[in-house]
């Protein structure tokens, strides 16, 4: 039985180095599980991995794809936790841009069969990152404010929805004014432009209410604006660097505001988290995705064969959501 997959033999421009291949599927043994993959998003991390600029180096030839969703097609003789037909998401962090993915059973998490497959394909990274941002760095009482930049990103949208679920309020910075009403409809409490005027408006809106947590996906001047809004002893967690500009912290934010700066790479968390820790996060997030409590906007779904068009679209700033590969 043959199966198609996307692979790059060297790092570089994804449109140039990625190509479509086929292979024969090998028989399963031991605890191996073969999953028929259905959908996989094109994330910034996937682009960076192919380019060779990701935090974890690629060792070509590689099949990219950090997350996806599919159904168990076959199991090895020693498998006990999964059965054919189960809907699963891979926990591997690579290899999802393929029609079939084979790995030991503990590398898959079973999810409800009625869940939307496209939404489930985006469960592993952005919602989990948003959860970690809100839960792992500060204990926030109901009604607390959280500030973030890149609020229209996948993580940003998940954070808005999760914060509302937890009873928290979000102050969100974006670059484009047309995003304001859209994010407010998603549950954002305040959406402001990511500039100096936006900081002034934020201060006026907040008054004397404290802001103890900031989520930074941009770096550069945008991160400085978050630090400006944070209250003394506040915490800023950096999980992305969309501006590709270094984080340069003025002394006043450390000396006079005593801000705490942390970094989050959710890939590392997946590598070190125990099974109970994984389930503590994945189970409630899965329930929220299933019941519509977390909805990720979709820009366009591309057939696997049109991967070059998908990659081009995924790197355009005018997108209104995620680009998805249909792996059928």
Tell me, what's the pLDDT at 319? 86
* Confidence check: pLDDT of 246 > 90: no
* Confidence check: pLDDT of 198 > 90: yes
Tell me, what's the pLDDT at 284? 97
Provide the percentage of residues in the chain whose pLDDT is more than 90: 92
All domains of the chain, ordered by start, with CATH? 2-122+296-326 (3.90.180.10), 126-267 (3.40.50.720)
Tell me, what's the pLDDT at 55? 87
**Contacts for 48 with CB less than 8 Å, ≥ 6 apart:** 54
Q: Is the CB of residue 198 less than 8 Å from the CB of residue 225? A: yes
Question: Would you place residue 67 in the very low, low, confident or very high pLDDT band (cuts 50, 70, 90)?
Answer: very high
The active-site residue, picked from 39, 54, 137, 239, is 54
* 313/246 Cα distance (integer angstroms): 26
Tell me, what's the pLDDT at 1? 81
Q: Are strands 32-41 and 322-326 parallel, antiparallel or unpaired?
A: antiparallel
* Confidence check: pLDDT of 239 > 90: yes
* 18/288 Cα distance (integer angstroms): 34
* 261/206 Cα distance (integer angstroms): 22
Q: How far is residue 11 from each of residues 122, 171, 306, 315, 317, measured CA to CA in Å?
A: 24, 38, 20, 17, 23
Q: Is the CB of residue 12 less than 8 Å from the CB of residue 51? A: yes
The stretch 155-172 carries a mean pLDDT of 98
Question: Would you place residue 245 in the very low, low, confident or very high pLDDT band (cuts 50, 70, 90)?
Answer: confident
The stretch 294-310 carries a mean pLDDT of 97
Condensed to tens digits (0 to 9), the pLDDT of residues 109-150 reads: 999 999 999 999 999 999 999 999 999 999 999 999 999 999
pTM above 0.75, yes or no: yes
Condensed to tens digits (0 to 9), the pLDDT of residues 205-238 reads: 999 999 999 999 999 999 999 999 999 999 999 9
Residue 34: which of 92, 94, 104 has the closest Cα? 104
Tell me, what's the pLDDT at 275? 86
* 153/293 Cα distance (integer angstroms): 17
* 249/264 Cα distance (integer angstroms): 18
Question: Would you place residue 106 in the very low, low, confident or very high pLDDT band (cuts 50, 70, 90)?
Answer: very high
Comparison of pLDDT for 119 and 244, the residue scoring more: 119
- Is 54 part of the annotated catalytic residue set? yes
The stretch 3-22 carries a mean pLDDT of 97
Residue 314: which of 131, 42, 127 has the closest Cα? 42
Tell me, what's the pLDDT at 56? 87
**Count of residues in the chain:** 328
């Amino acid at each position: 039985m043959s199966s198609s997959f996307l692979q790059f033999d060297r790092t570089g421009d994804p449109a140039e180095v990625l190509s479509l291949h086929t292979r024969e599927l090998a028989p399963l043994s031991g605890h191996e599980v073969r999953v028929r993959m259905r959908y996989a998003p094109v994330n910034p991390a996937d682009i960076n991995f192919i380019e060779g600029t990701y935090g974890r180096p690629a060792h070509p030839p590689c099949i990219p794809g950090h997350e996806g969703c599919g159904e168990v097609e076959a199991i090895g003789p020693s498998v006990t936790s999964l059965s054919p037909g189960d809907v699963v998401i891979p926990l591997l962090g690579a290899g999802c841009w393929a029609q079939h993915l084979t790995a030991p059973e503990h590398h898959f998490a079973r999810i409800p069969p009625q869940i939307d497959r496209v939404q489930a394909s985006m469960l592993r990274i952005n919602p989990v990152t948003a959860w970690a941002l809100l839960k792992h760095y500060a204990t926030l009482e109901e009604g607390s404010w959280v500030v973030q930049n890149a609020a229209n990103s996948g993580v940003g949208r998940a954070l808005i929805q999760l914060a509302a679920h937890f009873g928290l309020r979000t102050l969100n910075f974006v670059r484009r004014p047309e995003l304001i009403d859209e994010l407010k409809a998603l549950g954002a409490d305040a959406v402001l432009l990511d500039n100096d005027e936006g900081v002034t408006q934020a201060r006026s809106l907040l008054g004397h209410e404290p802001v103890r947590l900031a989520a930074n996906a941009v770096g550069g001047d945008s991160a400085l604006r978050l630090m400006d809004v944070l209250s003394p002893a506040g915490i800023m967690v950096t999980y992305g660097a969309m501006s590709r500009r270094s984080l340069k912290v003025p002394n006043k934010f450390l000396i006079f505001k005593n801000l705490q700066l942390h970094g989050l790479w959710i890939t590392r968390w997946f590598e070190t988290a125990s099974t109970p820790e994984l389930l503590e996060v994945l189970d409630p997030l899965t329930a929220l995705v299933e019941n519509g409590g977390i909805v990720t906007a979709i820009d366009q779904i591309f057939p696997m064969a049109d991967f070059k068009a998908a990659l081009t679209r995924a790197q355009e700033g005018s997108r209104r959501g995620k680009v998805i590969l249909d792996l059928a």
